[in-house]
Structure 1
Amino acid sequence: MDDRRAGRASSAWAVMPDGVALYVRLTPKGGRDALEGVEPLADGRSVLKARVRAAPENGRANDALIALIASELRAPKSAVSIRAGATARVKTIFIAGAPALYLDALAKLAPTNG
């Protein structure tokens, strides 16, 4: 069960048995590739803000997002996938592997994350 269904909507990520799910708001054609911390959405959910230089055409922005997350979390690109929202701004990204490997890096990206 993810943190949202458990009532912890303030978290931009959820620990799963086999990895970590990230809730990301992507801005394509954002001028640079960067993760910019956590922000709340109007519906109360929290997301990790990401921007990439790539345009949202032919999956290029999604590919750039996967590469960015893999790089920032020092995860293999093959471990990062889009679980939901491939054509939406708000996406669920899954990073396979031991969650402890990624939680410190996520905490540094968003020290105020609940």
Structure 2
Amino acid sequence: MASPWRITPEGIEVRVRATPRGGRDALDGVETRDDGLPVLKVRVRAAPEDGAANAAIRDVLRRALGLPASAVTLAGGATARIKLLRIAGDGPALARRLSDLTAKPPIRGA
């Protein structure tokens, strides 16, 4: 199965499918979309206004990985549902941690 993250020299890049106004702040697992693109589902309470949802998504990821806020940056998709985030650190260790956090079977279709 393909992964929504890839290791880079600086850490990892993660493709995220955002769900703003999702009722809670949480990682919701990995989903393979109908087009075959794997994404990490992240749900946040914040509305997609004035960057609040993007900030909440970065916060959910950094908390789940135990990192400082400066380690997670939005690299693309600021106004899109599918976003690219860069996470600075030990790439292989971050990938293992995300894999452990999302170990349940992937969700198909979106």
Tell me the TM-score normalised to structure 1 length: 0.86
Percentage identity across aligned positions?
Answer: 47
Query: Match for residue 3 of structure 1?
Result: none
Higher RCO (Cα < 8 Å, 6 or more apart): 2
Displacement of 1:110 in angstroms is: 2.0
Work out the CA distance in 1 between the residues paired with 2:21 and 2:88.
Answer: 27
Task: Give 1:1-114 correspondences, 5 Å limit.
Answer: 10-111=2-103
Alignment: residue pair count: 105
Unpaired runs of at least 5, structure 2:
none
Task: State the secondary structure of the residue aligned to 2:57.
Answer: helix
- Structure 1 runs (4+) deviating above 3 angstroms are none
Unpaired runs of at least 5, structure 1:
1-7
Work out the CA distance in 2 between the residues paired with 1:71 and 1:104.
Answer: 15
Displacement of 1:35 in angstroms is: 0.2
Root-mean-square deviation (Å): 1.4
